Structure 1
Amino acid sequence: MTRQSATPAAATTELAHPPDRPTRLPRGGTNAVGLTLGLIGDEWNLLILRYAMLGARRYVDWKEALPISDAVLTRRLASLTAMGVFEKAEYQASARRYEYLLTKRGRDLWPVLLCIWAWEAAWVPDHGERLPRMVHQTCGKDFRPVFGCGACGRPAEARDVTGGFGPSGTWSRSVPTATTRRRSQTAGEAGLFPETMALIGNRWSAALLGASFQGAQRFRDFEQWLGAPPTIIADRLRVFCDLGVFAQSPGAERADWPDYRLTEKGRAFFPAVMTAIDWGQRWFRAAEGPALVYTHRACGQDLKIRLTCDQCAAVLRGTEVSVLLD
């Protein structure tokens, strides 16, 4: 994804997660899925990354672009730096001024952002500000990413993929530790990622969405799999139905025990989920093995994620994608 070039770093700070090689996670702790959801499930993080992809790298760049307090911006930049997404570099020694440069790990988040933008543009009518245009430099056209399998080259939808937990995958290890990560909004403000945050900006929402992609449909399935209180499950199911992500239908066992099935809108969020999981499992590796494993039904091979341009069918590469604000 093209952005403004950064000036050479004069000095860098030590990172908790080295940005150019995968982080090794300890046994039994939060796995790659939980860490990733904790990062992208924070709306301020997504907004900061959005502008970083457009060239922001200094504190003032984000302050001018976002209605964010100094305290929140400072905390988020420190957290993203500790995660290895940014590298803090001194650019003015006399005043101790720093810039935050996207690392290889940070730049590698571009497929996640593209899929979120594409889903919001296609399925969410109201935004507090306009979404950026995505232009594929190879064909010169505005585009939307097409999710597919790199092993066989064919497109893949949610129903085309099967899988589940791997060696480090349990519900308790995959749920982010924070309870909610939505930014405060003024009355009437829709936000840039309003429904994305409704799906993954709450730890139980993210877990419930993941359970649905693994086949959960009944209330008791969600309750037993996630271990969440019934009131929380009921509230999240109501929100998902209101958003049109789930559709409620009479249950097979009893009509008053409804099933909750993903709608077309819900299934369309699958690429955003899968690119996020793919990023997380490449950059955060548990000692026991991957948290989630998936197979593409059409070819029978492990799913290798590939995004292509819906206009020219070429494979998308970060260096060949421009994100523009007209």
Structure 2
Amino acid sequence: MKWDDLDKQPCSLARALSVVGDRWTLVILRDCFLGVRRFDDLEKRLGITRHVLADRLKKLVEHGVLYKTPYQQKPVREEYRLTEKGLALHPVVMALVHWGDQHMADERGAPIVHVHKQCGQFMQPVTVCSCCGEPVTARDIRVEVGSGWQDRSSELIPEKDCC
């Protein structure tokens, strides 16, 4: 499988990675969720080259994850805002942050914490079943071929559990 062909794979993860699957894109999205919207602010915060930042922002706009809106007219200057498609990535970003807090933080702990506005408590993301509401882990899931599967003879889905 070639990196440039990920968007053509019969796998939703591969297709998603074709849009958001590099480190710069994920930290750009992190900053967008933190309310950073302007090119110069992103460049300064991330220490990223203008070329790479422009490339990643262009791709996110092309794929409908971000949209540009003017904040100044003369000269026209635009900021980047999350679309509904972009906001739908919030659970993904939160899950990666949570993993980083658990497995990559130093002895000082998590660099930032998330507070649920409604109850005021510190929160951690939890994956739950959309039908019964019970928390689920990798051991609680069985994978089956879905209607979007193109090659039903493929061996991509093993018959044994993952763990």
Cross-structure match for 1:120: 100
| CA distance in structure 2 between the partners assigned to 1:149 and 1:35 by the alignment | 23
CA contact (8 A) 2:70 2:78 kept: yes
CA contact (8 A) 1:164 1:214 kept: no
Alignment partner of 1:47 is 2:27: yes
Alignment partner of 1:152 is 2:132: yes
State the one-letter code of the partner of 1:72. V
Cross-structure match for 1:94: 74
Which protein is bigger by CA-based radius of gyration? Answer: 1
Cross-structure match for 1:110: 90
CA contact (8 A) 1:44 1:76 kept: yes
Give the TM-score normalised by structure 1: 0.42
How many Å apart are 1:38 and its aligned residue? 2.1
Name the structure where strand makes up a greater proportion of residues: 1
Cross-structure match for 1:272: none
| CA distance in structure 1 between the partners assigned to 2:149 and 2:113 by the alignment | 36
| CA distance in structure 2 between the partners assigned to 1:215 and 1:140 by the alignment | 43
How many Å apart are 1:215 and its aligned residue? 5.5
1:1-326 equivalent positions in 2, closer than 5 A? 29-31=8-10, 32-125=12-105, 131-169=111-149, 262=163
State the one-letter code of the partner of 2:72. Q
How many Å apart are 1:124 and its aligned residue? 2.2
- Unpaired segments of 5 or more residues in structure 2? 1-6
Q: How many residues align?
A: 149
How many Å apart are 1:30 and its aligned residue? 4.0
- Unpaired segments of 5 or more residues in structure 1? 1-27, 172-210, 218-260, 263-326
Which of structures 1 and 2 has the larger relative contact order (alpha carbons within 8 angstroms, sep 6+)?
1
How many Å apart are 1:157 and its aligned residue? 1.4
Instruction: Please state whether the residue corresponding to 2:143 is helix, strand or coil.
Output: strand
State the one-letter code of the partner of 2:92. V
| Percent identity between the two aligned chains | 34
| Alignment root-mean-square deviation, CA | 2.6
How many Å apart are 1:82 and its aligned residue? 0.5
